[in-house]
Amino acid sequence: MDLIRQQDGGRYGSPLFQSTLLSQNKDLEVSYDLATEYHVSNDAQIWVVSIREDVSFSDGQELTVDDVIFTYETAKNAQSTVDLTNLEKVEKTDKNQITFYLKEPQSTFLYTLQTLGIVPEHAYDNHYAEQPIGSGPYQFVEWRKGEQLIVERNPYYYGDSPVFERLTFLFVGEDQALAAAKAGQVDVLSIPITFSDQEIDGMKRLSFESVDNRGVMLPYPSPGFNEDGEPIGNAVTSDIAIRKAMNVAVDRDAIVEGVLHGEGTVAYSSVDGLPWGNSDIAIEDNNQAKAEQILTDAGWQRGADHIFEKNGQKASLTLYYPSGDQMRQALSLVFADMMTKFGIEISTKGAAGMK
């Protein structure tokens, strides 16, 4: 529950337990959480943030500017996954005002203010993740690692009181979650779209519009090693012609219908549907002839087995997906089948630990 050190499921800390300075509303617009206002200097290197005066942590102690400063300084020194390398310093400039000084302009600092949950200086230590204290809508009750997390309303929360008084999160796999729902052991569950045709007595299926997306990531560096000596790159996908051909040959509509049961839309980038997405990048896909021409122009020719080859290198690779993720597995299998039939041979393999 520690977002600073990313210990033990840090992603659950905010928004359950911790508040952030800024947040996003349902339309993905920037809104205020702890902050009441913020100003950015003309050179975009000084950010002045004012915070509320009516906030307490779940233990009843007041949240102050000092807690905000402590959180950001601790995250910076701990080399948190929240990137604060551009933060020169943070200072208290008034009772309820903090000033952030950046080394250089950084537009994404706005996102940082929406991401890093504020922790209490008086209660933060190396064991914070085991019993977190925050100023968010819920307070910690019980956690059994790998099994369940129980939270209840924070009586000191300054915002609208949560609808649910108490929540129990079960940490189980997709198959186990579905079985628990059928047995009447859970009230709400999130299922992969591959299970969307399942009927459960006493429950109804809801589908919501989302900016979530799924896709296939292809390595573009040539084979080699990174600075830690780990192997990177791929001899096939490092050729841009291969990546372009795949992008044109894939049938996105067929994937939406076959894998997502029609519960989705085609996407052409990882930011489709987001405010900064670009709808102009949409292309005509499922065009085998054009895809083949791209490869032919780049020196690839079909071998006797129909698979493209170039300079002795066969267009053959392995696509990995997270084991236990039904949707990503189905996506990988369908994509691999499409590409292999086209002439780029892809085998698939489930791997533990992938996200």
Q: What is the mean pLDDT of residues 208-219?
A: 86
Min mean pLDDT across 6-15, 183-192, 334-343 is at 6-15
Q: Give pLDDT, residue 10.
A: 45
CB neighbour class for 172 (10 Å; exposed up to 12, middle 13-18, buried from 19): middle
**Does residue 218 lie in a domain region?**
no
Residue 13 lies in a domain: no
Residue 6 pLDDT class (50, 70, 90 cuts):
low
pLDDT by residue (tens digit) across 24-51?
Answer: 988 888 999 999 999 999 999 999 999 9
Question: What would the mean pLDDT of 15-23 be, rounded to a whole number?
Answer: 94
- Using an 8 Å Cβ cutoff, are 59 and 111 in contact? no
Is 231 found in the same domain as 124?
no
**Cis bond leading into 15, ω under 30°?**
yes
pLDDT at 334 over 90: yes
Name the region of 163 (left: φ>0; alpha: ψ -120 to 50; beta: rest). Answer: alpha
153 is a domain residue: no
> Domain total for the chain?
2
State which of 130, 152, 187 marks the end of a domain: 130
User: Residue 335 is part of a domain; what is its CATH number?
Assistant: 3.10.105.10
CATH number of the CATH domain containing 104: 3.40.190.10
Q: In a 3-state reduction of DSSP, which class is residue 294?
A: helix
Q: Which of 114, 130, 146 is the last residue in one of the domains?
A: 130
Q: How confident is the model at residue 245 (pLDDT cuts 50, 70, 90)?
A: very high
In a domain, 70, yes or no: yes
Mean pLDDT of 199-223: 88
**Residue with more model confidence, 193 or 308:** 308
Mean pLDDT, to the nearest integer, of 194-210?
Answer: 85
Task: Specify whether 234 is located in the same domain as 342.
Answer: yes
Q: When comparing pLDDT for 276 and 230, which is higher?
A: 230
Q: Given this model, what pLDDT does residue 276 score? A: 82
Q: Which domain holds residue 316?
A: 224-351
Mean pLDDT of the chain: 92
| Cα 253 to Cα 183: distance, rounded to the nearest angstrom | 35
